Amino acid sequence: MYQLSEDTFDQKEISSIKELIRSKKKLSYGKKVNDLEKKISKFHNRKYAIMVNSGSSANLLGISSLLFDDKFNLNIGDEVIVPALSWSTTYTPLIQLGLKLVFVDVNLDTLNIDTKSIEKYISKKTKAIFAVNILGLSCNYDQINQISKKYNLFIFEDNCESFGAIYKNKLTGSFGIFSTLSSYYSHHLCTIEGGFLLTDNFRLYCNALALRSHGWLREQPSNSHLNKYNYNNFEKLFKFVLPGFNLRPTELNAALGLVQLNKIKNFIKNRRDNAHKTYKIFSNNPNLKMQKYDQNSSFFAFSLILQNKLINKRETVINFMKKNKIENRPIVSGNILNNPMMRYAKIRKKGKYPNVCFIDQNGIMIGNRSRALNKKEIKILKKLNDFLLEFK
């Protein structure tokens, strides 16, 4: 009755896939991927975009493109500031590549990294801040940019949940040495599986092109620094210059993305309209705290943090939701430090992280969608609010 997510496909997407298959042209990545990359980079006012098979892979690709190049001075054992709330694959590339995670608590109002606390976590080994825009809401980039300039740090931007969000007239996805996007099934732009790495740095772009496809040389621009090797055209096809991956998307993913991108402005408008209605429903409920409302958010989903009479009553609330067919889940990952995968990580932390711990114990997430909420869904949300408001 009230779903976490739903597909946004119509006959246009179906026709684009049929046409591609009937054409009997190459289905592994090619012209459509290139076309979508150009449109995504233009949309975000970025010089370069590389499509990959997920936003998770985009994070891996961005960090690897820096780590495997001495010019960037990012090395195994260096530290990266991270928020204690994000999806797992913000962190796993850092773990896999031997970097140390330095955890900062989140702001309970925004759910984003507590920018006022970042400086006290910086050491001589700190090289970057991983800014994650949670559930459609932008981080405070004025403060993050100020800190990065003061300490000469990279900014990595994970924008996988916040396609189309705006910070002071600038789209998220356009901050940092690289930014990442996701076009997974449940996200603003859907290619079923997919993601993008965005950057304005040509050297990083060249590294990423190679790393996306096995580490080979064949796709490099003529003025790439990786063309320093004296190989003829035949040799270039199968020379591997970086320790690469296979993170490639398909033409099928890109065909969907090209149709979806024509709809994205309407999708985001609907999400903002839905948010206006949803926040109005829950606005006077003292037992509930939601993520700070910002008209420039792209509202990936809605966070419900239980407070006052509902503290530590989440199981009761979930049972009510289940009975009334309201799909729900934890807010992103909850406290990522509580996940067993962290035993593989190099970590530096201070204190007890009270905000993310509270979210972990009392947070619930419900979905938003790219179409307008219907009367039945509005009625369900009002019923949920009544239950939370009257809880004894």
Percent of the chain at pLDDT exceeding 70: 100
- Residue pLDDT, tens place only, 325-346: 999 999 999 999 999 999 999 9
Mean pLDDT of 375-388: 97
Domains of the chain, first to last: 11-261 (3.40.640.10), 264-335+351-389 (3.90.1150.10)
| Residue whose pair of structure tokens reads 């609330």 in the numeric block | 317
Distances (CA, A) of 289 to 285, 308, 342, 357: 8, 10, 29, 15
- The gap from C-alpha 94 to its chain's centroid, in whole angstroms, comes to 15
Q: Would you say residue 355 has pLDDT above 90?
A: yes
SS (HEC) of 277-320: HHHHHHCCCCCEEECCCCCCCCCCEEEEEECHHHCCCHHHHHHH
Examine the residue annotation and report whether 44 is marked as an active-site residue of this protein: no
Banded pLDDT at 392 (limits 50, 70, 90): low
Stretch 101-127: mean pLDDT: 98
pLDDT, tens digit (0-9, with 9 covering 90-100), for 235-278: 989 999 999 999 999 999 999 999 999 999 999 999 999 999 99
Options 44, 187, 214, 276, the catalytic residue: 187
Phi, psi of 58 (to 5 degrees): -65, -40
177 pLDDT more than 90 = yes
| CB-neighbour burial class of residue 352 (10 A; exposed 0-12, middle 13-18, buried 19+) | exposed
Reported as a pLDDT band with limits 50, 70 and 90, residue 379 is very high
Note whether 196 and 180 are within 8 A (CB).
Answer: yes
Strand pairing of 100-104 and 346-348?
A: parallel
Band the pLDDT of 385: cuts 50, 70, 90: very high
pLDDT of residue 229 exceeding 90: no
Report whether 133 contacts 156 (CB < 8 A).
no
pLDDT of residue 1: 87
pLDDT of residue 42: 98
What value does the mean pLDDT take over residues 62-71?
98
For the cut 90, the answer to whether the pLDDT of residue 105 exceeds it is: yes
8-state DSSP, 332: T
Q: What pLDDT digit, counting tens, does each position of 196-223 carry?
A: 999 999 999 999 999 999 999 999 999 9
Measured over the CA atoms of residue 132, residue 356, residue 300 and residue 56, the dihedral's sign is positive
Distance from C-alpha of 233 to C-alpha of 301, rounded to nearest angstrom: 49
Mean pLDDT of the chain: 96
Query: Residue 24 — very low, low, confident or very high, per pLDDT cuts 50/70/90?
Result: confident
